[in-house]
Structure 1
Amino acid sequence: MVGAGAAGSALAGRLVERGADVLLLEAGTAERPPEVRDVGSLAATLPDHPWNWAYPVLLRRGTPAVVPRGRGLGGSTAINGAVWTRAVPADADGWGVPGWTYEELLPYFVRAERDLDEQGPRHGADGPVPVRRPAGQLRHATVDRFLAAAERLGYPAEPDKNAGGPPGAGPVPSNSLDGVRVDAATAYLGPRVRVRTGAVVTRVRLQGSRATGVELAGGEIVEAGQVVLAAGAVATPQILLRSGIGPAGPHELPVGQGFSDHPAVYLPMRTDDPPAHPHAPIAQAALHLDTGADPAGDVWVLQFVRPFAAGGDLHLMCALGLPHGRGELTLHPADPAGPPRIEYRYLQEESDRRRMRHAVRTAAELLRAGLGTRTAPDGDVLGVDHRLDGWIAAHLTTAVHMCGTAAIGRVVDAELRVYGIEGLRVADTSVLPTVPRRGTAATAVAIGEKAADLVAGA
């Protein structure tokens, strides 16, 4: 197996529980500095942090950026905001893949989690990932004002973001406990799992149309009866392309083509509230809403209760949950061995620009309804479409939820087997046909859980 991120850790852990012989290769490290464990810190997402792959990307024409991806055990679940929201029924049912409907995925969401707040058959009680909503001293003062403002504006309440119900305003579930970010590796990789860190896989070894192992940087060959790529939505397609599996390779498949992610901007805000508790998760409340074309909710506003820099503003993250735009990942023609070329092509469609304006204006309405004070953009920008488009373009970022670089139905079949290649599977968010409307961490782990059943039953 390649990659000890969200899906890879879950898959390896479950297979070893069943007695499988698994070697898990991870390019990053096993050492966890304090900021990786601390749920209140996003320090590891900074470009120069050793736990961050820091991929250079192009969000849209003229908008370069550096995108964080986790570089160590747990992958991006070790450095992200610890938001634990599932895909919604419209996501999975909309993929149209046998075996991947919401009701068919639900047991894997349940199996993964130990929900400490919600009980019942649609929530897990015994899984390895603890799930909590902000409460008590860990619940920031702005959360109740956020929810009250949403109610004042007529948005429905959604007290359980993982219930699979209609969109609304509610607290955000987190995979953290007592201030510690519980990443997928911490949850799943026990001492019985053989893990080799610092193992950078460059390509899959193929004998004709069969995978026989992988090649590491430096030329070492690791042979295997079956290879599973779970290196994430960037590294997995990169490995496939280097292996000759892709649009221009001898094994022609649309690897890296048509991926989706959530374009986002941060609306700054100020309040007079005391700082968040040191053990409090960063993202604590969210409004998911329908802009008029998607009853499942096509945009969201996510409240961050801690500033990105000491003494700075708080933020509302405004994002498209169901973007229409699609991106492309390719090997860099000047350096195929280096970082890939990633073009998100955000906001090229007017429908995406319109809905992003809607998200920003909704966040501004929440502030006016009693949440706090907006510090940008100015009113003459907020009220004029072309000016707001310019402000959004200048502040554009991504939620880092890339999906679809090796999608089911295009690159792999419903059992995650790469078309035309024996002994090779993909098991990470690369396989999702489109990005789920909400965060991806819980769904990535569910992919690993489901893949364990698929691989064990092969």
Structure 2
Amino acid sequence: MAKPGTPMSRPDVLVVGAGGSGSALAARLSEDPSRRVLVLEAGPVPADLSGFPESLLDARLVPGAQADHPAVSTHLVRLTPGQAYVATRGRYLGGSTTVNGGYFIRAREADFTRWAAAAGDDLWSYERVLPLLRRMENDLDLGGGPLHGDGGPLRVRRTSLAHPAAEAFREAARALGYPEEADKNAQEAPGFGAVPSNAVDGIRINTGIAYLLSALSRPNLTVRGGCLVRSVAISGGRATGVVVEHAGRTEVIEAGEVVLCAGAFVSPHLLHLSGLGPARDLERAGVPVVADLPAVGAALSDHPQVALEWTPREALPEASGSWLGGALHLTSSRGAEPGDLEVLQSLVPLAGLVGGAVSVPGAPLAFLASVQTPRRAGRLRTESADPRVAPRIDYGYLETEADRGALRDVVRAVASLVATDAFGEVSSGLVEPAALDDDNALDLWIATRLGTSQHTCGTVPMGIEGDSAVDSQGRVHGVPGLRVADTSILPTAPLRGPANTAVLTGELIAAAMRAQ
């Protein structure tokens, strides 16, 4: 029986990272009893649900909003050249799905069309991925059918809109003419609706719980926690294993194939440290070049976000079941993509999300306003061959007038919602009203409050050649035995948060590997 930390003979597949993608990929690969699978996770790996602290299970909390949480790793980034920011990622079984908000909305059909075109493979088309989307979920609201599954490992339930603030949000959206979007995991016209979530009965069911805990009894699967992978071992141009630090020792673990599922920050950094990336940058950092892959870390894709707080007229009930209320998707004035703006409602004060508390008496509530237009900017650059030296990560936000204009649109949309009579039933207005009528003043207001949705993608983009690093199945160009299977391979972030798509990526690449 394979338990966390149990050694095994040379695995057929070594998976780096037990997060949204890695958990799904490892679980699916190990369904084949002839394939030996080893998963190395940097954080703790509990053997059962009792090993998860309450703060990681309570869906009303967002541990990823707490930079000092023990289940979180931090990354110093620059949103703009002059604005530093601390980005967080999960370091625990389940990865960032253990510390995020439980938001589990599928990418839009337009995203899959764009990715399939970039990859030169209809493997990523909506028609091809829909069976995988159905296979991975157990939709507790809608059950099985042409669009949804009822037998997958991940239970999905939509957030309740019974809270007075959620009801007021719905009525405000209706008053402004936004359509109802009953199922945000269908491909309906963007509008207002509940948020599909992997939080059920108040418990955040991360991918480690959903996929791996039930699979640990398989004799061909081993999951080891506390393992910091430092680089990929390459011999004769082929990946042969990884260099890992565990319990104070450094060792090389050999494997038939290596799959990086460490996320859009760590996966490209590991490639760089292994000599795979832009040759000039690697030479400057003192890393011997194995393969010149300029696309690794050349740009990234993420969603800029601004929080707008509002003051309740009177004390409102505590959030129940989830911190999330409703969500509104609308289209920016430039109309780049239908539904490219998102207004997400928090029923827990920001002070509570940051402080790890569900209730903060007297504190305002908030809307999270973000721009989800697919775009690439910024860069991830490795500056030292020492793996302890963090890479430089630049987001490149606010670089263009289109960037700034879309943020103005979504901030003005929130202000309009709060100003409706319907929302005035629960709110006395925004805490910090913006200068809505002056573009320059509004740009300054936004710039001083800018954040990010923590949805990084695109640092190891897939494609046929040129501006890509992997193919449609995650195989690193020119390096046999090595794949990447996480959101770093998506050329652009989807029009919705990528948690659902991270799991899909693990499912898709596992299916491709099993088919070979």
TM over 0.5: yes
1:212 is aligned to 2:240: yes
The one-letter code of the counterpart of 2:369 is C
What is the CA deviation profile of residues 275-321 of structure 1, one whole-angstrom value per residue up to 9, with x for unaligned ones?
3344x211221111112423521111111111122232111111011
Q: Which residue of 2 aligns with 1:235?
A: 266
Task: Determine the C-alpha separation between the residues in 2 that align with 1:413 and 1:43.
Answer: 34
1:315 is aligned to 2:373: no
What is the CA deviation profile of residues 372-394 of structure 1, one whole-angstrom value per residue up to 9, with x for unaligned ones?
33334335x22211111111111
User: By how many angstroms is 1:143 displaced?
Assistant: 1.5
1:153 is aligned to 2:176: yes
Task: Determine the C-alpha separation between the residues in 2 that align with 1:419 and 1:153.
Answer: 49
Contact preservation (8 Å) 1:134, 1:284: yes
Task: Determine the C-alpha separation between the residues in 2 that align with 1:362 and 1:313.
Answer: 19
Question: Could you say what secondary structure the match of 2:419 adopts?
Answer: helix
2:24 to 2, 10, 27: 10
User: By how many angstroms is 1:67 displaced?
Assistant: 0.6
What is the CA deviation profile of residues 45-102 of structure 1, one whole-angstrom value per residue up to 9, with x for unaligned ones?
3111111111111111211010110011100000010001000001110121311011
Question: Could you say what secondary structure the match of 2:250 adopts?
Answer: coil
Q: Which residue of 2 aligns with 1:106?
A: 130
Question: Any residues of structure 2 matched to 1:188-207 within 5 Å, and which?
Answer: 188-189=211-212, 190=214, 191=216, 192=218, 193-207=221-235
1:130 is aligned to 2:155: yes
Task: Determine the C-alpha separation between the residues in 2 that align with 1:277 and 1:360.
Answer: 24
The one-letter code of the counterpart of 1:129 is L
Task: Determine the C-alpha separation between the residues in 1 that align with 2:378 and 2:503.
Answer: 24
1:408 is aligned to 2:431: no
The one-letter code of the counterpart of 2:366 is H
Question: Could you say what secondary structure the match of 1:69 adopts?
Answer: strand
C-alpha RMSD of the superposition: 1.5
What is the CA deviation profile of residues 338-361 of structure 1, one whole-angstrom value per residue up to 9, with x for unaligned ones?
222110010111101001000000
What is the CA deviation profile of residues 106-140 of structure 1, one whole-angstrom value per residue up to 9, with x for unaligned ones?
111111111111232211111111111123xx842
Q: Which residue of 2 aligns with 1:143?
A: 166
1:89 to 73, 95, 109: 109
The one-letter code of the counterpart of 1:165 is E
**Structure 1 range deviating more: 336-345 or 311-320:** 336-345
User: By how many angstroms is 1:194 displaced?
Assistant: 1.1
Contact preservation (8 Å) 2:74, 2:87: yes
1:167 to 169, 190, 193: 190
2:95 to 75, 78, 90: 75
Task: Determine the C-alpha separation between the residues in 1 that align with 2:88 and 2:408.
Answer: 25
Question: Any residues of structure 2 matched to 1:364-403 within 5 Å, and which?
Answer: 364-369=415-420, 370-371=422-423, 372-379=427-434, 381-403=435-457
Distance change (3 Å), C-alpha of 1:332 and 1:5: same
Distance change (3 Å), C-alpha of 1:349 and 1:228: same
Q: Which residue of 2 aligns with 1:247?
A: 278
Contact preservation (8 Å) 2:38, 2:222: yes
1:270 is aligned to 2:270: no
Distance change (3 Å), C-alpha of 1:195 and 1:453: same
User: By how many angstroms is 1:325 displaced?
Assistant: 4.8
Distance change (3 Å), C-alpha of 1:420 and 1:325: closer
What is the CA deviation profile of residues 394-431 of structure 1, one whole-angstrom value per residue up to 9, with x for unaligned ones?
11110000001111110100121000000101100011
Question: Could you say what secondary structure the match of 2:183 adopts?
Answer: coil
User: By how many angstroms is 1:457 displaced?
Assistant: 2.1
Task: Determine the C-alpha separation between the residues in 1 that align with 2:70 and 2:40.
Answer: 18
Provide the aligned length of Structure 1 versus Structure 2.
Answer: 454
Contact preservation (8 Å) 2:319, 2:347: no
Which has the higher Rg, Structure 1 or Structure 2?
Answer: 2
Structure 1 regions of 5+ residues with no counterpart?
Answer: none
The one-letter code of the counterpart of 2:136 is A
Question: Could you say what secondary structure the match of 1:220 adopts?
Answer: strand
Contact preservation (8 Å) 1:304, 1:316: yes
The one-letter code of the counterpart of 1:12 is A
Distance change (3 Å), C-alpha of 1:208 and 1:89: same
Contact preservation (8 Å) 2:274, 2:290: no
Task: Determine the C-alpha separation between the residues in 2 that align with 1:165 and 1:92.
Answer: 15
The one-letter code of the counterpart of 1:213 is G
Q: Which residue of 1 aligns with 2:382?
A: 331
Q: Which residue of 2 aligns with 1:297?
A: 339
The one-letter code of the counterpart of 1:195 is V
The one-letter code of the counterpart of 1:298 is D
Distance change (3 Å), C-alpha of 1:288 and 1:451: same
1:39 to 59, 78, 81: 59
Structure 2 regions of 5+ residues with no counterpart?
Answer: 1-14, 46-50, 280-288, 352-359
Distance change (3 Å), C-alpha of 1:23 and 1:336: closer
